[in-house]
Amino acid sequence: MRGKNVKIPDFVVGTCNKKYEIEGSDGNPSFKGETLWIVFEAKSPRVLEDVRDLVEEFRTATNNEKNTAVTNCVQQLLNYMQLSEANYGALTTYIRSWFFHRTGDEAFEVTSSYHCRCKSPTMLECYSSILQMSKNEPSPLDGVTIKSRPGGGGNSKKKADSEKKSEKEDKDDGNARRNSDDVDKSDQPEEQDVDIHIQGHLTESYSGDVYVGRVESVPSAIKVCSNEELWEEIRNEMEIYETLKDLQGTSIPRLVHYGKIPNGSVVLATEFVGHPISPEKLSPSDKEEIVSCLSAIHSLGVCHNDLREENILTDGKRFKIIDFAWSRVNCTGDEFRKENAKLNKILNCC
């Protein structure tokens, strides 16, 4: 069996050496793993609810050159394992789980399905056993490198479906968020391969998981969105960065890359700029600089629309506002005043 799709695993287990301390964050600390034991891919129960024999259904679909939920899920996990050289993996719907052992570059062993209510062995015993085996055959982990095609690439059918959806749907109740039809196709980045190196998980956002890594040689925060229903938010964020291009590197991060990875997921990468603020540690001059950042954004007609501590970052010297997935253009003066008041509340200014 051969893995084909390139994406990000749901989670991995291994030892780690903390490289990126995210102060003031309620989420998991970011890290770069030293060794990787096992890769997990979690799916909704309904995706694989009718599967009886995973291997047989995968083999039959592959022989008939059919693309099914089984082939997609299995190929996805196998590709993660091949990319990271992990010897063990698990595909789970939480109700049922299958465990994988990589015995060669393209050879895998797969267990039967284990139900969460199994008595002998129990699901806990299954996971304990597979984790113990994986600890004995760890994989060195230096991150995952993938290829991206700016503004395109990936699955052509998904791309066509997404474009049709964009043409059909107008953004709700005239909120003045830009429609993808308004974007000049000639402004799309040229088609060239871009190396994206994932090093660790930063946080989760509404529109996708955010990872720390490098795009070419640039340290970056890399947002990956596989949910087609949220691609419009990512596209909107890219367009807002273009609107605010004169502020990139000062009030907001530089936009490093926007495009798709081969499996069709959308990637938006910005320069890595630091960690979320801790308002109680800010000096009066710090607060003034943050207020100036928001004022500069407002001066270009953009309302951020999701202002909170986690979206104001600092490297200890400068401050930048991030995450423009919900931002809008051509806002009213009243909207700007409300957002200024919200920032003042965050900064404990009043």
104 — pLDDT class (breaks 50, 70, 90):
confident
Name the more confident of 30 and 194. Answer: 194
Question: Using CA atoms, how far apart are residues 113 and 47, in angstroms rounded to an integer?
Answer: 15
Question: Please, are residues 243 and 237 in contact by the beta-carbon 8 Å criterion?
Answer: no
What's the angle, vertex CA 321, arms to CA 318 and CA 323, rounded to 5? 145
Here the CATH number for the domain that contains residue 98 is 3.40.50
* Ramachandran quadrant class, 199 (left: phi over 0; alpha: psi -120 to 50; beta: rest): alpha
Question: Using CA atoms, how far apart are residues 29 and 323, in angstroms rounded to an integer?
Answer: 19
At 178-234, the pLDDT tens digits run: 443 443 434 433 334 788 888 877 877 777 788 888 998 899 999 988 888 888 889
Question: Using CA atoms, how far apart are residues 173 and 328, in angstroms rounded to an integer?
Answer: 13
145 — pLDDT class (breaks 50, 70, 90):
low
Q: In the listed set 245, 271, 297, which residue is the last one of a domain according to the structure?
A: 271
Asked if residue 63 and residue 93 are part of one domain, the reply reads yes
Interval 265-291 mean pLDDT = 93
Question: Using CA atoms, how far apart are residues 210 and 9, in angstroms rounded to an integer?
Answer: 13
Give 77: exposed, middle or buried? Use CB within 10 Å, 0-12, 13-18, 19+. Answer: buried
Closest CA to 42 of 78, 94, 84: 94
At 304-347, the pLDDT tens digits run: 999 999 999 999 999 999 999 999 999 999 999 999 999 999 99
Can you tell me which residue has the tokens 């995973």? 54
Q: Name residue 29's amino acid.
A: P
As given in the structure block, the two tokens for residue 336 are: 């700007």
Q: Name residue 319's amino acid.
A: F
Is residue 27 a part of any domain in this protein? no
Name the more confident of 66 and 8. Answer: 66
Asked if residue 131 and residue 44 are part of one domain, the reply reads yes
> Could you tell me the pTM of the whole model?
0.52
Is residue 235 a part of any domain in this protein? yes
Is residue 15 a part of any domain in this protein? no
Where do the DSSP E strands lie in the chain? 11-20, 30-42, 88-92, 96-102, 108-110, 114-115, 139-140, 144-150, 194-205, 208-215, 218-225, 255-260, 266-271, 275-276, 302-303, 312-314, 319-321, 328-329
Question: Using CA atoms, how far apart are residues 184 and 347, in angstroms rounded to an integer?
Answer: 39
Here the CATH number for the domain that contains residue 205 is 3.30.200.20
As a whole number, the mean pLDDT across the chain is: 76
Question: Using CA atoms, how far apart are residues 343 and 339, in angstroms rounded to an integer?
Answer: 6
Is residue 285 a part of any domain in this protein? yes
Is residue 149 a part of any domain in this protein? no
Question: Using CA atoms, how far apart are residues 14 and 35, in angstroms rounded to an integer?
Answer: 6
Asked if residue 56 and residue 123 are part of one domain, the reply reads yes
Considering only 56-70, 99-113, 146-160, which range has the smallest mean pLDDT? 146-160
Cα 105 to chain centroid, rounded? 27
